[in-house]
Amino acid sequence: MNPDLEKLISLQAADHEVTRLNEEIAELPKRVAAIEAKLAEERAAVEKAKSSIKNNDATRRKLEVDIQAIQQKISKYREQSLDVKTNDQYRALLHEIEFAEREIRAAEDKILEAMVDTEAREKDLKTAEAELKRETAEIEKEKAAARERTEQDERELATWQQQRQQLRSGISPDVLQHYDRVIRVRKSAIAEAREQKCSACNVMVRPQTYDEIRSNEKIIVCDSCSRVLFYDPSHEAPAPAPTKARKKKPALAETDEPETAEVPEVPAQS
């Protein structure tokens, strides 16, 4: 095989690996960000449950303070009722007492609702904290695996880059220049010729050119896509097996009359 052609095939494989590894390494920040976002959702659920419990506690304390203040009002109204001079004043105080008692009952209902809601939020909090703990452990494993994979990619990348440089240094400058120009545009600069076609663009190759490509002794480019063509005999379709000719059976000899078997004479009996 032509030395430049052999190196070009290896160079394209190295370039594809370098590109793949660079893209995979570049994806690490996105993967870590997605992992962190998932964990942030679990933390937010925990904080939301804590905040709801805190708000309920604050509401309950405020209502308890309001009830105490209303109870003090009721005590004052009862004391004042002892000193009233008229029935109208007495009825007015009773009305104020009834209104204050209704306020107390409404506040107590709200306290009960807050207590029930707090119980539900506490259950949510326990569930969210357990989920956060589980997710944190799982996400740390994912992050560690991502970091480990990136470190492995970086080691492989360094090896491929070194191999790539060695290959490039051994290729003729004009051939390498053509390779670089094509691969920038088409993402591949080498293509296999198979069944008298360029496997990249599927354009037919002239028979004489295809015979030259099959020798792998020259740098030949596709007239359509400008990729350098090579031939891999292992991909050639196997030739059809020769068919065996059937033996003809000998023809029967034709006679005018059918043959009859001779019947032996029977001796006469005396």
pLDDT at 257 over 60: no
Residue 143 and residue 35 in contact, taking contact as beta carbons nearer than 8 Å: yes
All domains in the chain, ordered by first residue: 3-169 (1.10.287.1490), 174-235 (no CATH)
pTM attached to this predicted model = 0.57
pLDDT of residue 263: 41
Residue 216 and residue 231 in contact, taking contact as beta carbons nearer than 8 Å: yes
Chain centroid to CA 69:
62
C-alpha span between 204 and 195 (Å, rounded): 9
pLDDT of residue 165: 95
pLDDT of residue 213: 95
Q: How far is CA 143 from CA 39, 43, 124, 195, in A?
A: 12, 17, 27, 48
pLDDT of residue 255: 46
- pLDDT averaged over the chain? 86
Q: How far is CA 50 from CA 46, 54, 117, 209, in A?
A: 6, 6, 12, 77
Q: What is the pLDDT of residues 12-44, one digit of tens each?
A: 999 999 999 999 998 888 888 888 888 888 888
